[in-house]
Amino acid sequence: MARSRCFLGYMNSNWEQHFDIPIGPDNYFAFTDPQGLDDLEQDAYQASVADQGQPTHFYPRRNPFLFTITVPGDFGSKELVWTLKTNGETHRAFASLAPDYRIDPQVISTEVGGNFGSLSDALRTNIPPELKVEGGETRRIAVGKPLTLIAFASDPDNLPARRARGGSPSTLDQLYRPPSSIVAISGPGLRLSWIVYRGPVRNVGFEPEQMKTWTDTRVYANSPWSPPWIIPGNSRRWKMGH
C-alpha cells in the first residue's frame, strides 16, 4: 500500500521568546485512534515512538511545513499527535489523512505567501529546490572552534522565477503600512538560511548573520516577509561559518 507524508510545523505566539524542549514527556509524538488525545490531561508518552524527527528548538511566530513524517499505507483514520508542554501549558497538533487536509505545492506556497501570495495553477507542479552540503555528513570539531559549511542550492524548474517587489517603500506611511493580505507575503527566488533545529541556540552562532526563516513581518526585521527585504542574487553557493 502507498505511504503518505504528513507536513508539520508550529506557531509560537511570542515575538521574541525562543523555546528549547528536548525530546521526552514535554515534546513527543503518539499514534492514536481518532480523538484519542483530545483530552489535554491525558498523557501518551512512549519513548519508542516519541521521536519522529521534530525540532527541539522553537523560533518565534509561524514556522510552517518545517518537517515531514511518513505514515504507513494502512494508517487509515488514525491520528498522529504532537504534544508540546511549555510554560505550564499543554499544546497539541493533530495530523491525519482526512481529505480536507490534503495539500499540494500551490497550497504550501500560498500558506507562506510565496510569489507575493500568488494563486497561480502553475505552482501545483512546482519542483522543490535541490540542496547539497559540501563534504561528509559527519564533522568533528573542537569545542569553541569555528566550522565552515558550504551548501550548493539550485531550483531545477526556476518556478516561480525570481522577481523583485514592484518598487520599494518611499515614505514612512508605505514602509509601516500593515499587511493587506490574509497571509504575510514574500517574493519568489531561491534563498538559503541556516537555523538551529535541535539543541540550545545559545551554543551556536552564525557568520554571516542569517536571515530569519520564521514569519517576522516587522519592518527591517531581516526576514523575507519584512519590508523592504531584498531577494538575494542568483548565487548557488552559500558559505557559512559558526
**Same structural domain, 143 and 236:** yes
pLDDT attached to residue 122: 87
Note whether residue 35 is domain-resident: yes
The last residue of one of the domains, among 57, 84, 101, is 101
CA-closest candidate to residue 217, choices 209, 228, 207, 208: 228
**Same structural domain, 92 and 151:** no
Range of the domain at 184: 126-242
Q: Pick the most confident of 45-59, 145-159, 169-183, 222-236.
A: 45-59
Note whether residue 151 is domain-resident: yes
- In one letter, which amino acid is 147? L
Regarding predicted confidence, which is higher, 164 or 25?
A: 25
Task: Read off the pLDDT of each residue in 98-105 and give the average, rounded to a whole number.
Answer: 93
Note whether residue 110 is domain-resident: no
Contact 222, 211 (CB under 8 A): yes
Q: What is the DSSP string of 75-124?
A: -TT-EEEEEEEETTEEEEEEE---GGG---HHHHHHHTTHHHH---GGGG
Q: Is 240 exposed, middle or buried (0-12, 13-18, 19+ CB in 10 A)?
A: middle
**Same structural domain, 93 and 182:** no
Give yes or no for residue 165 having a pLDDT over 80.
no
Task: Read off the pLDDT of each residue in 159-182 and give the average, rounded to a whole number.
Answer: 74
Task: Report how many domains make up the chain.
Answer: 2
**Same structural domain, 17 and 72:** yes
Q: What is the DSSP string of 35-86?
A: TTT-STT-----HHHH-SS--SEE-SEEEEEEEEEEE-TT-TT-EEEEEEEE
**Same structural domain, 140 and 226:** yes
Note whether residue 225 is domain-resident: yes
Note whether residue 156 is domain-resident: yes
pLDDT attached to residue 179: 66
**Same structural domain, 91 and 135:** no
* Residue 130: C-alpha distances to residues 5, 27, 127, 133, 230 (Å): 19, 30, 9, 10, 22
**Same structural domain, 85 and 159:** no
Regarding predicted confidence, which is higher, 175 or 214?
A: 214
Note whether residue 173 is domain-resident: yes
Contact 68, 5 (CB under 8 A): yes
**Same structural domain, 140 and 95:** no
The last residue of one of the domains, among 52, 67, 101, is 101
**Same structural domain, 132 and 202:** yes
Note whether residue 117 is domain-resident: no
**Same structural domain, 87 and 8:** yes
The last residue of one of the domains, among 101, 135, 161, is 101
**Same structural domain, 151 and 210:** yes
Calpha distance 220→100 (Å, rounded): 37
**Cα radius of gyration (the chain):** 20
With left for phi above 0 and alpha for psi between -120 and 50, is residue 122 left, alpha or beta?
A: alpha
Note whether residue 113 is domain-resident: no
Give me the percent of the chain exceeding a pLDDT of 70.
Answer: 95
**Same structural domain, 165 and 79:** no
Task: Read off the pLDDT of each residue in 224-230 and give the average, rounded to a whole number.
Answer: 88
